[in-house]
Amino acid sequence: MPDERQVADDELQPAPVIAPGYTFGTVTDQISSVVLTRRTPVFWMACFGVGFALLLLFLWAVALLFLKGTGIWGIRMPVAWGFAITNFVWWIGIGHAGTLISAILLLLNQRWRNSINRFAEAMTLFAVACAGMFPLLHLGRPWLFYWLFPYPNTMGVQPQFRSPLVWDVFAVSTYATVSAMFWFVGLLPDLATLRDRARNRVARGLYGIFAMGWRGSARHWTNYETASLLLAGLATPLVLSVHTVVSFDFTIAIVPGWHSTFFPPYFVAGAIYSGFAMVLVLAIPLRWVYGLEGLITDKHLDNSAKVMLATGLIVAYAYILEGFTAWYSGNVYEAAAIWHRMTGPYASVYWSLVTCNIVAPQFLWIKRVRGNPILLFIFSIIVLVGMWLERYVIIVTSLAQDFVPSSWGLFHATRWDWATYVGTIGLFLFLFFLFIRLLPMISIFEVRTLLPQAKVEEEPQG
Amino acid sequence: MRPPIYGVMAEFDNPTALVNAAREARARGYRKLDAYSPFPIEELAEALHLPKSKLPIIVLIGGILGGLTGYLMQYYVTVIYFPINIAGRPLHSWPMYIVITFELTILFAAISAVLGLLALCGLPMPYHPAFNVPRFAHASRNRFFLCIEATDPLFERRATEEFLERLEAREVCEVAH
């Protein structure tokens, strides 16, 4: 019979972040072998195939959009934003979890993040790429997108810097640039590892070019550590500002249901909520297919589920407060906007969103649910759907029924709305699985630092 | 005159041995040293007496330039180049400039962090003698290296090699140019 004290100790010991038994060599080999092998798993082929097929659908929808204009979508006055902006906000929110994991958790010294930050950052990058598609395509004349930037031009006009839509351009393009640079800096030492381990001459040459001669010198590492911390320090306020600026698109307007000061924190919490759901949706199948359970452990899934639960509760609080302010403000238009959401033509969407975002995640309080990857995967999908519905409800219901009933009008999505939306999921899968095949999905050098033998044993100074 | 070899390199099994070797080499008076490891080791910088990174000041300057660029660009456009009078509201509407000023501060600071990192590390560097050591490929996997360069005033081929061999090194070899 096990010693009672021992059992108590075992339960109190936190679960290890990395399974025991790894060495610097085996960590390196296991992660780099996913990239450097000639064999490609069927799972990868299947996911990449689906992604590629949907990407073609996206290209088809976009080609048609270029030919015929935004009329192929269901956007009609008064709902001019429809799917495009819903998808934009949804995608960019998903990206935020990647920056949160890579930057904020780095600053907070949460070392468990080291084995999930790389693919979460890749997720950020590709989600921002998908997000960026929508405002561009929604422009109507997407080929003139550069008019959004201030540049000397013969027309003698300039962007309106007092408009939140122009702030969006700056926020999102800064976010995309900084995320890409942060990701590349994180990859540098691992690219050097791949360069040194690749057998194929072409692969070695390419990894070598991108590794730029990195040799792991102590002088490199001191600058590198400083750079990572500084970039994390810069990315942290940036990520909070991006979704805040996105929420300004709504909150600066006077449309009932938008004109509210709690949108920024509410949007940021929602972004992290959906982002962690996406992290789980990606991590659970990947660690199973590539046998990475020792590196992306149950501890990671458990922590991500807890973050999801916490941000989900903030989002739930925001929904409740939305109803409360509408009632307490005494403003008939605000009250009517919320009442229309709950009982009007979009009531089914509203109540599905409440079910997905508020009711479903309450199961995450149960430890057994958080410990079961299949259930977690299902709940994450539910949250992703719920957050999409939330964006849809905020945008469409507020525009459909605003002040004067004579100007009301409903939004009906067309098949091209769906094709563009599903198409960007294809773009995301396509890019993400290319990344999985070509670059290490787990940061090798950061996982090395998690191993117990990475600690320098100091001799007692005599 | 260029010395005949780049230096002498010793290979170690674990970070502790590398840090101890780096300390002893410093204590012995060697100054042209570099250590190579597959992950950052905090104690190593201190053992080698490396100066603090100059990156923070570069990033600070980048951030200030970014902020100024953002603010002045908006001021120039909205007040001087393309003023729009909307119901007599002030042209210099500074609260509306904050978002873009902030974003450009971050953008310029981040770009200077990345370019500064590359510049301070001397990257991209297409050739470095360390890679002439065949075992050096393991520096990015699981081995730790200490190199004493030939430009060090105390460097003497035989003596330096013997000194390194005494430091629990797995292997000591010469690094060709």
pLDDT digits (tens, 9 = 90+) for A143-200: 999 999 998 889 888 999 999 999 999 999 999 999 999 999 999 999 999 998 888 8
CA atoms within 13 A on the CB side of A365: 6
Q: Is the CB of A161 less than 8 angstroms away from the CB of B78?
A: yes
* B74 domain residue, yes or no: yes
Query: Using one digit for the tens of pLDDT, what is the confidence trace for A32-85?
Result: 888 888 788 899 999 999 999 999 999 999 999 999 999 999 998 899 998 999
Q: Is the CB of B137 less than 8 angstroms away from the CB of A196?
A: yes
Q: What pairs with residue A79 in β-bridges?
A: A76
pLDDT at A2 over 70: no
Closest CB from A161, A182, A230 relative to B100: A161
**Neighbouring residues of A52: CB distance < 8 A, sequence distance ≥ 6:** A426, A430
**Neighbouring residues of A404: CB distance < 8 A, sequence distance ≥ 6:** none
Closest CB from A196, A218, A237 relative to B140: A196
Q: Is the CB of A167 less than 8 angstroms away from the CB of B99?
A: yes
B134 plus B171 within the same structural domain: yes
B46 to chain A, minimum CA–CA distance in Å? Answer: 10
3-state DSSP assignment of residue A338: helix
ipTM of the complex: 0.92
* A246 domain residue, yes or no: yes
Domain count, chain B: 2
Q: Do B103 and A174 meet the contact criterion of CB atoms below 8 Å apart? A: yes
pLDDT at A3 over 60: no
* B2 domain residue, yes or no: no
B69 plus B28 within the same structural domain: no
Domain of residue B25: give its range.
7-52+126-175
Closest CB from A195, A225, A245 relative to B40: A225
pLDDT number for residue A1:
45
If you average pLDDT over every residue of chain B, what do you get?
89
- CATH code of A284's domain: 1.20.1630.10
Query: Using one digit for the tens of pLDDT, what is the confidence trace for B86-95?
Result: 899 899 999 9
Q: Tell me the C-alpha distance between B98 and B129, whole Å.
A: 49
DSSP A164-208: HHHHHHHHHHHHHHHHHHHHHHHHHHHHHHHHHH--SHHHHHHHH
* B111 domain residue, yes or no: yes
Choose between A253 and B65: higher pLDDT.
Answer: B65
Which amino acid belongs to residue B91? Answer: L
Tokens of A101: 């994991």
B31 plus B65 within the same structural domain: no
Measured on CA atoms in the order A214, A219, A223, A224, is the torsion positive or negative? positive
* A129 domain residue, yes or no: yes
Q: Which of A191, A101, A180, A116 is nearest to B110 (CA)?
A: A180
Tokens of B44: 């190593």
Could you tell me the pTM of the whole model? 0.91
Q: Is the CB of B44 less than 8 angstroms away from the CB of A217?
A: no
Phi and psi, residue B36, nearest 5°: -125, 130
* B117 domain residue, yes or no: yes
Q: Which of B16, B125, B71 is nearest to A216 (CA)?
A: B125
Q: Do B135 and B11 meet the contact criterion of CB atoms below 8 Å apart? A: yes
* B38 domain residue, yes or no: yes
Q: Is the CB of A213 less than 8 angstroms away from the CB of B123?
A: yes
Query: Using one digit for the tens of pLDDT, what is the confidence trace for B106-137?
Result: 999 999 999 999 999 988 988 888 888 888 88
Choose between A340 and A37: higher pLDDT.
Answer: A340
In chain B, how long is the greatest CA-to-CA distance?
85
B153 plus B106 within the same structural domain: no
B76 to chain A, minimum CA–CA distance in Å? Answer: 11
Domain count, chain A: 1
* B140 domain residue, yes or no: yes
Closest CB from A158, A174, A449 relative to B106: A174
B140 plus B152 within the same structural domain: yes
* A363 domain residue, yes or no: yes
Q: Which of A357, A352, A396, A351 is nearest to A274 (CA)?
A: A357
Final residue in a domain of this structure, among B121, B149, B165 = B121
If you average pLDDT over every residue of chain A, what do you get?
89
pLDDT at A133 over 80: yes
Q: What pairs with residue B33 in β-bridges?
A: B148
Judging by beta carbons within 10 Å of its beta carbon (0-12, 13-18, 19+), is residue B6 exposed, middle or buried? buried
Closest CB from B19, B82, B109 relative to A456: B19
Nearest CA in chain B to A23: B142
Q: Which of A429, A433, A440 is nearest to A34 (CA)?
A: A440
* B12 domain residue, yes or no: yes
Q: Tell me the C-alpha distance between A36 and A200, whole Å.
A: 9
B135 plus B115 within the same structural domain: no
Q: Which residues of chain A have a CB within 8 Å of the CB of B14?
A: 453
A163 to chain B, minimum CA–CA distance in Å? Answer: 8
Work out the angle at residue A71's Cα, subtended by the Cα atoms of residues A68 and A75, and round it to the nearest 5 degrees: 155
Q: Is the CB of A238 less than 8 angstroms away from the CB of B106?
A: yes
B59 plus B104 within the same structural domain: yes
DSSP-H helix ranges across A69-163: 82-99, 105-107, 117-138
* A192 domain residue, yes or no: yes
Domain of residue A291: give its range.
56-451
Q: Which residues of chain B have a CB within 8 Å of the CB of A215?
A: 36, 128, 130-131, 136, 139
